[in-house]
Amino acid sequence: MQPRRHARVTRDLYSFAFSLVLFCGMVLLLTLRGGGAIGDQAGSSGTTSLAPFYLVNLLLMVFLGLNRGAAIVRSAHPRKALPRNALMLLLAQLLLLPYMTFLIHGTDGGVGRILLLSFYVLLTSTTWLLLGTLLALRRTSSSQSLLLNAAAVAAHLIPALGFHFAPPGLRLLSLVSPIAAISELSSGAAIHESLVAFLFVALVAAVSAFHVVRRLRRSEDV
């Protein structure tokens, strides 16, 4: 009988966790609104805002998703590795729990908004785990792969921001970009805005999951 291995959390993941805690902590410190006289604070923009914290969190988690997606393809049993790596994303996000409990009282977000934002980050990173798997399955060279990943992430983050300047009806489409979505969700988005942000990511995740499972099954059969 093969001994049970507990090394599912790899040393790479610890390195990443270190970066995640460090960078998110730095953003928290930089945007922290401390005590002091109201006259010195009034009108200042130095608020403990949720948006910068969760934007950095999202970017790091997207990179982790891409990284884990490539790891799935490299593993001996990719289909089994898929849920395990998704769980790692959850564990990585849970590392930020001390920051989140701080933010609940430190900002005007409250528990609901913190949970919503954390869930959005987790959903987006899971989507990129699946997209990362699909991109890794193309078996391109490492330099090409790097460029492809960067282009794909940029395509998700930036172009949709242009809809912000569109007529009111089309402006909702800017929430396809996680940057706009995080910004809106952190300042208290309306229900229909939250729905647009979540539904787009969920839709991409569902389509990617379908393709990933089909292609992994095919490659394992081969």
Partner 1 sequence: MTTQRRGQGRRAFAWVGGLCLLASVMLALVPCVGHGAPTVSAVLGFNQHLHEGSFAPMRADVRGLPSPIRGRLILVQTLGSGWRGESTVTHELASGPIENGTYAATVPFYDATNPVVLRLITPDSQVIAETRLDPRIGRHTHRFAVSVGAEAPPVVDAVPAEPVSLSTDWWSYEGLSSLWVESPLPRAAWNAIGRWVYAGGRLVVFGGDNYLRMDTPVLREILPLETPRLISNGTGPAHLAGHLRSDSTVLREQNGTPLVIHRTLGAGTVTLVTVSSRDMDENAYGPLLGLLQSATPIALSRLAGDSLSATSVTGPRHATVGLLVVALLACVSLGYALHRRQPRLAMVIVSLGIGFLAVLSGFYSFRTNQNRPLYTCSYTFSLEDSFGSVRFGHAWYSLQSMHVALENRQAISEPKLHVQPGADLDSYVTETSLHETRLALASLQMRTADRYGIPASTITLSVGEGWVEVDSTESETYDDAWLLQDGRVYSLPSIAPGVHRHVLGTGQPVDRAVESMGAASAELAPLYGLLEETGIVFEGTWLLIASHRVVSQPSEEVAHSRSVILRAIPGGDHAA
**Judged by CB under 8 A, which of 87, 90, 94, 147 binds partner 1?**
94
Distance CA 88, CA 185 (A): 25
Sole binder of partner 1 in the list 105, 167, 191, 221 (CB under 8 A): 105
Q: Which of 21, 148, 152, 173 binds partner 1 (CB under 8 A)?
A: 21
Identify whether the C-beta of residue 213 lies closer than 8 Å to the C-beta of residue 86: no
Q: Which range of residues in 6-14, 82-90, 155-163, 205-213 is near partner 1 by CB under 8 A?
A: 6-14
Q: Could you give the CA distance from residue 119 to residue 111 in angstroms, rounded to a whole number?
A: 12
Query: Does the footprint of partner 1 cover residue 84 (CB under 8 A)?
Result: no
Q: Is 8 helix (H, G, I), strand (E, B) or coil?
A: coil
Query: In angstroms, rounded to a whole number, what is the distance separating the alpha carbons of residues 155 and 106?
Result: 33
Among 108, 147, 158, 159, binds partner 1 (CB under 8 A): 108
Q: Tell me if 3 contacts partner 1 by CB under 8 A.
A: no
Q: Which of 84, 86, 99, 164 binds partner 1 (CB under 8 A)?
A: 99
| Interactions with partner 1, residue window 151-190 (CB under 8 A) | 188
Instruction: Give least dist CB 51 to partner 1, A.
Output: 12
Q: At what angle do helices 97-106 and 110-136 cross, to 10 degrees?
A: 140
Q: How far is CA 194 from CA 163, 177, 184, in A?
A: 16, 12, 8
Q: Which one of 79, 86, 102, 152 is in contact with partner 1 (CB under 8 A)?
A: 102
Identify the CA nearest to 119 among candidates 164, 8, 127: 127
List b or e across 181-211, with b for residues whose CB sees 16 or more CB atoms inside 10 angstroms: bbbbbbeebeeebbebbbebbeebbeebbee
Q: Rounded to the nearest whole angstrom, what is the least distance from the CB of residue 157 to partner 1 in the complex? A: 26
Q: Give the interface segment with partner 1, choosing from 26-34, 73-81, 115-123, 209-217 (CB under 8 A).
A: 26-34
| Residues within the interface to partner 1 (CB under 8 A) | 6-7, 9, 11, 14-15, 17-18, 21-22, 25-26, 28-29, 32-39, 41-44, 47, 94-95, 97-108, 188
